[in-house]
Structure 1
Amino acid sequence: MSERSDGMTRPPHREANDLLTDLFRTPLDSGYADAARRREEHGPRPPWQQRGGKAGRAIALALVGFLLAVAYQQVVAAKPDANQTQADLAKEVADRRSEADQLARDADGLRDEVSQARENALAEDPELLRLKDLEARTGLGRVKGDGVVVTVSDAPAAVDPVTGSVDPENPGRVIDRDLQDLANALWEAGAEAIAINGQRLTAITTIRAAGEAILVDFKPVTRPYQLSAIGPDGIDKRLADSATGKRFKRFAETYRMQFDIEAKDGLTLPAGADPGLQYARPPSASPSVSPSVSPSVSGSPR
């Protein structure tokens, strides 16, 4: 800002920097004008220079096209190998799974043989009945009886009526926690033995999720999920009247989740997997502890 002689300030001079005004005033880039001026001063380029420039551009384009063609050929040539590798890995996984299933069936057969041999050897022993009862309670023995079957499955996925695409968000999808809640509700209702899709639950059974799959004792189970339980009369009504049963009824009404409770007679539940129990052993003496000093033990002696 500058001052006038009378002490008043003068407004600054505004340059015409408006973009639209500049475009209308100079519609062409200054490089075009410079090129035209050089052509007028020096004349057009010699024909050999023009041909050289065209040839150079043609060579560059041909080189780029050649490189793209080579890259495409390499990708196409490597695709069968990648597909074959994926197929080999899938086959190996299927073979290993089939082998594991066969080993599990062999283990169950050997366990039945051991149980039969033990019963024959302990036929006159009064402790045999107690042993069978303990096996049934811990899930290590096959059991039969009346009970209930709870069936739960995902709600139908929502479909966009315009595009026909399936909505990936399904609030009525069954998750691992749902099976955990139903199993706990069955225990509270008086269940003596429970199996999920043929997988017997024991004291160390885990129900976990791995991606979209649900694992029971690290074995996948698929929908519809069936929880079979052996228990006293009226276990189905106690489950339906429980907080968990009422909550799943609301899920069925709100999200269209499939949920059904049905009393069943003559259920047979298989034995659970061998837990592979390990026994505790006293720790070895540490070399840093002096022999004259005995470690303190909390609690009262037995």
Structure 2
Amino acid sequence: MTEQGPGRRFAPDFLTELFRNPLDPGYADAAARRAEGYRRPPRTRAALRGTTLAVLTLLGFLFVVAYKQTLADQPQRSATRAALVEQVQGQRTNTDALQARADQLRGEVADLRERELDSAEAARLRTLEGAAGLSRVRGDGVTVTVGDGRPTISPQTGQQTDDGRVRDFELQQIVNALWAEGAEAVAVNGQRLTATSTIREAGEAILVDRRPVASPYELVAIGPGDLAESFEAGRTAQAFRQLARQIGMTFEVKQADGVTLAPAAEPELRFATPSPAPSPAGGRSAPSSTPSEGGR
């Protein structure tokens, strides 16, 4: 039996010695040094506790100040929000009043026109106005209702997403499909569409000719008798039915009989000037033989 190192003997029976003393001396020395390092002087421990207490006190003071400041600003924020809501409601009331006045003046203009024009010209004008969306129309067609789907949770962030919300380009797809199937007049939530109408997003709202519309969106179209069947059998309706199954989006197509669509708002006309007539020589103007003034 030999002796190697202080306090450590290796017996011939190695397994017996291993079970008696399983901890390696190196691990024991490291644990002892670590325990020795954690033994701080009393003054160091007192200073650490004092610093911790001071930091906690400062944080508590800052939280109290922030809470009081939030309570102090709450009435001001509430008053500002109430003022904005009142302003929006007032502007909406003014807009509705102006729209009603515009409709009244439009009716007066229509009456004057009927008295001044003969029957043939008045009928032709009414036909053109109906095609342009500037007159009230009535007939049979289809009603397409589409609404936002259920909210989903992102697996990456765990936050709620708006993947099920109806987008502006989706309404555009439905409208284009209705036109393609032969619709003669289309309205979105009562807003009549014309050749210059726009459907676009502004934040989380969808605007039809700069007027907001909300979900569910009801698209009413007047057209041939088989408009509902042809639209429902098209690719657009099939794609939206698949979206309805996947994300719970509302989508319904049904026949509409005897519906009336109000006229659209008066368009904003712009003046245009004719472009210069092209010259006979391939559209290029002949060079002038007269010298320019001052080389300009």
Letter in 2 for 1:95: G
Is the Cα contact below 8 Å between 1:157 and 1:167 reproduced in 2?
no
Work out the CA distance in 1 between the residues paired with 2:67 and 2:244.
53
The 5 A counterparts of 1:6-155 are 20-29=31-40, 32=43, 73-122=68-117, 124-155=118-149
Indicate how the Cα distance of structure 1 residues 73 and 277 shifts in structure 2: closer, same or farther if over 3 A, else same.
Answer: same
2:96 aligned partner, one-letter code: D
Among all aligned residue pairs of Structure 1 and Structure 2, give the percentage whose two residues are the same amino acid: 43
- State how far apart, in whole Å, the 2-side matches of 1:282 and 1:217 are: 28
**Match 1:220 to one of 205, 212, 225:** 212
Question: Deviation at 1:67?
Answer: 8.3
CA contact (8 A) 1:208 1:215 kept: yes
Cα separation, 1, equivalents of 2:57 and 2:226 = 83
C-alpha RMSD of matched pairs (Å): 3.8
Aligned partner (choices 182, 185, 201) of residue 193 of structure 2: 201
Compare 190-199 and 258-267 and name the one that shifted more.
258-267
Amino acid at match of 1:232: P
Task: Say if 2:249 is the partner of 1:257.
Answer: yes
Deviation by residue 1:46-105 (Cα, 9 ceiling, x = unmatched): xxxxxxxx9xxxxxx999988876665554333212211121112111111221122122
Query: When the two structures are aligned, how many residues end up with a matched partner?
Result: 248
State the Cα distance separating 1:206 from its structure 2 match: 0.7
Measure, in 1, the Cα distance between the counterparts of 2:98 and 2:271.
25
2:202 paired residue among 178, 201, 210: 210
Partner AA of 1:92 in structure 2: Q
User: Is the 8 Å Cα contact of residues 215 and 221 (structure 1) preserved in structure 2?
Assistant: yes
Counterpart of 2:99, as a letter, is: A
TM-score, normalising length from structure 2? 0.71
Instruction: Tell me what 2:14 maps to.
Output: none
User: Taking structure 1 as reference, are residues 30 and 190 closer, same or farther at Cα in structure 2, changes over 3 Å only?
Assistant: same
For structure 1, list consecutive stretches of 5 or more residues without a partner in the other structure. Answer: 1-17, 36-53, 55-60, 160-165, 284-293
In 2: Cα distance, 1:192 partner to 1:179 partner = 17
CA contact (8 A) 1:154 1:257 kept: yes
Q: For the structure 1 residues 241 and 27, does the alpha-carbon distance in structure 2 shift closer, same or farther, using more than 3 Å as the test? A: closer
- Alignment partners' CA distance in 2, 1:280 and 1:229: 32
Query: Once the 2 structures are TM-superposed, how far is the Cα of residue 266 of structure 1 from its aligned partner?
Result: 1.1
**Alpha-carbon spacing, 1:22–1:74, altered in 2? closer, same or farther (3 Å):** same
Superposition TM-score, scaled by structure 1 size: 0.69
For the structure 1 residues 204 and 64, does the alpha-carbon distance in structure 2 shift closer, same or farther, using more than 3 Å as the test?
closer
State the alpha-carbon separation in 2 of the partners of residues 157 and 91 from structure 1. 31
Which residue is 2:178 aligned to? Answer: 186
Which stretch shows the higher mean deviation, 267-276 or 108-117? Answer: 108-117
Query: In structure 2, which of residues 264, 276, 294 is the aligned counterpart of residue 272 of structure 1?
Result: 264
